[in-house]
């Protein structure tokens, strides 16, 4: 079963170990808060330990289980993009991208793209989304 505290600790460890702080306005505390926001968002949207996802092409509901937060944080204008791997019932990896804005009360996830990486790649190719620190 998914353990949000474990994801938060793992995400924080990845952030501290991998992400540089130079070259962007996001300090280490902000990076940890972003990863924590994502973990809390996942936890709040879980139903009996999974994230139900409707595949709109055929209407099938697929239960996704979060497995690993990616340490990379991308900048997008004034906001950010984070990613997590999920697994479907057959054990296949499913990418989930989280679009995040800074609100008065902290970070807010305003959009989640499930198994839809093409728009993010297009934004990266246009130079609108960039890897922080690299």
pLDDT at position 15 over 70 = no
Coil, helix or strand at residue 21: coil
Domain that residue 16 falls in: 4-131
104 alpha-carbon distance from chain centroid: 20
Least confident of 2-11, 16-25, 34-43, 80-89: 16-25
| Model pLDDT, residue 119 | 95
22/36: higher pLDDT: 36
Q: Which of 85, 91, 103, 94 is nearest to 34 (CA)?
A: 103
Helix 28-44 and helix 4-18, axial crossing angle in degrees, nearest 10: 160
Per-residue pLDDT tens over the stretch 23-64: 346 888 999 999 999 999 999 999 999 999 999 999 999 999
- For residue 133, what pLDDT band results from cuts at 50, 70 and 90? low
- What's the pTM value of the predicted model, to 2 decimals? 0.79
Q: For residue 65, give the nearest of 82, 33, 43, 32 by alpha carbon.
A: 43
pLDDT at position 79 is: 95
Average pLDDT of the chain to the nearest whole number: 85
Alpha helices for 45-134 (secondary structure H): 118-125
- Whole-number pLDDT of residue 69: 85
Q: Count the domains in the chain.
A: 1
Residues 7 and 11: their CA atoms lie apart, in Å, by 6
């Amino acid at each position: 079963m998914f353990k949000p505290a474990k994801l938060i600790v793992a995400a924080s460890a990845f952030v501290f170990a991998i992400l540089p702080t130079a070259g962007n306005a996001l300090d280490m505390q902000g990076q940890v808060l972003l990863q924590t926001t994502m973990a809390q968002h996942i936890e709040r949207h879980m139903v009996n330990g999974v994230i139900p996802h409707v595949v709109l092409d055929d209407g099938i509901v697929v239960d996704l289980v979060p497995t690993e937060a990616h340490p990379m944080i991308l900048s997008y204008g004034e906001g950010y993009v984070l990613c997590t791997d999920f697994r479907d019932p057959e054990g296949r990896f499913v990418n989930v991208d989280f679009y995040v804005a800074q609100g008065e009360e902290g970070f807010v996830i305003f959009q989640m793209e499930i198994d839809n990486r093409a728009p993010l790649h297009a934004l990266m190719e246009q130079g609108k989304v960039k890897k922080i620190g690299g």
